[in-house]
Amino acid sequence: MSTVSEWSQSAEYLSFRSNVPLRRISVSNDPEQEWRIYDCGPKTVQNPLICLSPVSGTADIFFRQALALSARGIRVISAEAPPYWTANEWCDGFRKLLDYLSLSKVHIFGASLGGYLAQKFAEGTSLRPRVASLILCNSFSDTTVFKANETASIYWMLPALVLKKMLLSNFQPPPATDPDVVHTTDFMVERLDSLTQSELASRLTLNCANGYVEAHKLIDLAVTIIDVFEGSPLTFPVKEQLYKCYPQAKLAHLKNGGHFPFLSRSAEVNLHLLIHLRQFDGGPLASSDKCLINHRLASS
């Protein structure tokens, strides 16, 4: 039995779970193929920020983004996909999710695998754009950097315990002097433990099967890249490859924060998200309801 993390019992997380309902949305003929989403903020906003998690994450790991940004009038949707085994399948499912939610264009904040899939979706819809902008956190543009293409074909048959051990081996021990990184790691291990074998196997397959982003199709897209210097899960050559893909990108570097800075350094990450989204305020791709913001400012 896994231990309960401190953050899953925190007032902040419990407030999120009690005030933002989990929605299960089926976009296929298989009722068990359900997307799980948390939709936070004004539903009048048609161009929300959608958060996509790394391999080990669930939709609720972005609770700090949902609470902080929705308080500023931004609509935030945290989405968790059912098992898909190819990037094309995932992109088709994500397109159907956007159609179900009646969203024509979205801003996407993707962490690690979530960032890679966000790029693939933007690439696949480049002729009829569905992505307004990208924020990529500790992400990559080419899966061959993991050098696991040969083993990716057998993930589907491996037991959940083996898959979890594979992922846990990549979690660097957090510095004992950094309580936020320690609590983040505990929380993410707890989330990892809640995933089924098919969820883990499909995500690892997406993460490691040979694939790359045709970034030249996204050259006109507004992109912000958020990276961690100390304790980053990615090597500098991998980061540099992503930078070269998006010469137009704004770079946001965090001194530290580990694998999951959206949790351990949420205030800094949220600030970068606000700065990125601010360029769309007042336009047709705005992610926030300014009327709601002005009302709150007037009443405060």
Nearest in space to 251 (alpha carbons), one of 221, 276, 286, 285: 276
- Please write the tens of the pLDDT for every residue from 133-165: 999 999 999 998 877 667 888 988 999 999 999
Q: What average pLDDT does range 36-58 have in this prediction?
A: 95
- Please write the tens of the pLDDT for every residue from 176-222: 668 888 889 899 999 999 999 999 999 999 999 999 999 999 999 99
Averaged pLDDT of the chain? 89
pLDDT for 296 equals 47
> d(Cα 205, Cα 51) in Å, to the nearest integer?
20
pLDDT higher than 60, residue 298: no
> Are the CB atoms for 107 and 129 separated by under 8 Å?
no
- Please write the tens of the pLDDT for every residue from 212-263: 999 999 999 999 999 988 767 777 788 888 999 999 999 999 988 888 999 9
Nearest in space to 263 (alpha carbons), one of 37, 34, 5: 5
pLDDT for 172 equals 66
Contacts of residues 83-89 at CB distance under 8 Å and 24 or more positions apart, as own/partner, are 83/33, 83/198, 83/199, 83/201, 83/202, 83/203, 84/202, 84/206, 85/156, 85/202, 85/205, 85/206, 86/206, 86/209, 87/117, 87/120, 87/206, 87/209, 87/211, 88/124
Q: Which domains does the chain have, with CATH numbers?
A: 6-279 (3.40.50.1820)
Q: What average pLDDT does range 94-98 have in this prediction?
A: 97
- Please write the tens of the pLDDT for every residue from 115-136: 999 999 999 999 999 999 999 9
* 8, two tokens: 């899953």
* 15, two tokens: 């407030």
> d(Cα 173, Cα 258) in Å, to the nearest integer?
10
